[in-house]
A and B are shown apart, each in its own frame.
Chain A
């Protein structure tokens, strides 16, 4: 085929993709591409991206798609399917509410409803100010305390809807103190 002035945008598209990801991940993808069935490494790559960024952003997913030569929709579809993958950055504090059988029977749904109402977000979402994320969990292994919530890595229970505003207030106050002492 004859050589023309280039209308190919691949060099720029590739460069933009590379800039979205840490060098180690780009290197890993390139190693995968040199082997058979590189697409089978997609989930491994997504794990690395999430480890690095804390979540899978659209720009990073698109970069993975371009560098792995897997259609954008496929990459985004896989990322959205698995519970473990987060598509949004987590808040400073993540509140897990156990919806396992024991907690559910003991009224976890009412506690969850109160958190949703107070924070104005649903499970899997983060408040606009980036302070709180809400997650539903299945059994945290402390059914004796049901209904159980976990604030970051601290398990608390039994939780009641009445306690919810207090819990949030305490966390906000702690955040404020940390900021003041830091400044």
Chain B
């Protein structure tokens, strides 16, 4: 292909050459000039609606949006003139004037993009204050709370929901002053096709979307001496919680996190990684059976609750393909209220199980009737997102940075490296392969790291030789990617034996409950996701055991309590079922 001629232009009196099709914003970035932005996001389509990125272009008698205008030859651009500075200030103030004046009461205080812009542009007084839009808060959802008064109509949630997740549950409704973003007919999130992933929360620059808080219930349980309060932490929490305390992304904080939970007053701190190891035991057993013809292939993983919601609403025809395994979180909660309760002679009703998750769909999962004890009480009592735990630690006056490194409690705190990597894309598949490689051959396998299934770019289709047979596996994160694999499987264009699906981009490390990125990063940022994943792989590498079936605590649990993987007791306690749900999703 012939190389296209570069375009020469001048930005802030500096001359550069860029490829045709480059936007003014991207061209300026090559010169180290940061043009402020709000509705623009590099991983999403262009909207060009907020006008925060306006620049002056010589010869044009109006300001142009740098995010969406492509450069032309000999263009002369001013990004920071006096006129631009004043216009941008006014644009941000107009957004602010239609926004509640309650920053101090807001969850995103200090981490809000609108607040940051108002500070950066010097909005120190209100020149245009007037009437502002009024909407009730919609907080009936199990996972997601919607507050349209805080919405600045940047459309990032609408785009992430449609373009990254393929759910398209959100749209702008109405027009003019009363425009609001919500599901069709203003329905509650739970009555819509929402799959509860919470990417709208991450994408929002303000707090128009938030998780349904569980912190108050947890404080109450911690304050009650009659209740035995147990915490379990998902693999990806350790890789991201440090960001909530301004540590560099990628700093693993496993030990400090455990100590912090103990300081908060939890009676036991367990590791969801053990639940992940347990999932592998059950799922690898199920997979081996299906390879022998007992059950449909490809087998689809079932750890990600956002994905399970997507399956039930958008692909109910594939329900028989989903692994019947409960998620690692629920498996660990089940063990907590059965095995652990028996061991300590505790009444399961007096155990309060708190799961710290990177995920808001987990809040929906724990309320599902399938995940309740015979008494009707849930196996998991509360789900805290990483953000909520960060806040609780701060609220409790714990200096997180200086904490010493604690260890998880036995017996449900002993895990392998295979459990660690569950938190990132390809992790479930890799952990399965680590175990399957030994089970299918009956020998010790040399190969431990299956880097080929780490789908950092969103989607992988891989063929592997294991135990003399070819395994065809797919890995996807972000549901648009999942859809591409599923459609191929349905049409028969490609055969798969197993497909791992994680609803969120990058897997759990990019979950809807993770800390808002600091100034150097943005959500969906591949670099940020790589750093978080790196922390998990580093943890995996230093583990004594790196294959789930080698977990000594788990072996004991099977011996003493569960019986055989896939056996009758394991089936009853660790497996579940799915149902087609309405409204049926459309993509």
Contacts and interface: CB of A to CB of B under 8 A. Distances in A.
A77 interface: yes
A76 B297 CA distance: 38
B489 interface: yes
Contact of B586 (A6, A8, A66, A76): A66
B296 A4 contact: yes
A77 B171 contact: yes
Contact of A65 (B172, B317, B321, B586): B586
Interface in A127-149: none
B192 A7 contact: no
B192 A13 contact: no
A8 B317 contact: yes
Interface string B169-196: 1111111000000111100000011000
Contacts of A73: 168-171, 182-184, 192
A70 interface: yes
B185 A61 contact: yes
Contacts of B57: none
Contacts of A80: 173-175
Interface string A165-182: 000000000000000000
Q: Tell me the interface secondary structure of chain B in the complex.
A: loop
A117 interface: no
Given A1-B489, A71-B169, A10 B584 contact: yes
Interface string A9-28: 11001000000000000000
B184 A13 contact: no
Contacts of B185: 58, 61, 72, 76
A69 interface: yes
Interface in A32-58: 58
A1 to B, nearest CB: 6
B184 A4 contact: no
A39 B95 CA distance: 33
Contacts of B584: 9-10, 13, 66
Contacts of A75: 184
Contacts of B183: 72-73
Given A9-B584, A75-B184, A4 B168 contact: no
Interface residues of A, number: 26
A56 to B, nearest CB: 10
B538 interface: no
Nearest to A13: B584
A9 B581 CA distance: 9
B122 interface: no
Nearest to B312: A7
Nearest to A80: B173
B268 interface: no
B580 interface: yes
B489 A7 contact: no
Interface in A60-113: 61-62, 65-66, 69-77, 80-81
A5 B296 CA distance: 11
Contacts of A183: none
A31 interface: no
A81 B174 contact: yes
A77 B319 CA distance: 31
A2 interface: yes
A9 B580 contact: yes
A75 B184 CA distance: 8
B358 to A, nearest CB: 26
B583 A76 contact: no
A76 B584 CA distance: 16
Contact of B587 (A61, A62, A71, A77): A71
B417 to A, nearest CB: 34
Contacts of B168: 71, 73-74
A6 B321 CA distance: 12
A5 B184 contact: no
Interface string B75-115: 00000000000000000000000000000000000000000
20 contacts: A8-B317, A9-B316, A58-B184, A58-B185, A61-B184, A61-B185, A62-B184, A62-B583, A65-B586, A70-B586, A72-B183, A72-B192, A72-B583, A72-B586, A73-B168, A73-B169, A73-B183, A80-B173, A80-B174, A81-B174
Interface of B: 162, 168-175, 182-185, 192-193, 296-297, 316-321, 489-490, 492, 578-580, 582-584, 586-587
Interface of A: 1-2, 4-10, 13, 58, 61-62, 65-66, 69-77, 80-81
| 5 pairs of A and B residues whose beta carbons are closest in the complex | A77-B171, A71-B168, A73-B171, A8-B317, A72-B184
Given A7-B320, A80-B175, 7 more contacts: A2-B297, A7-B319, A7-B580, A9-B584, A10-B317, A72-B184, A80-B174
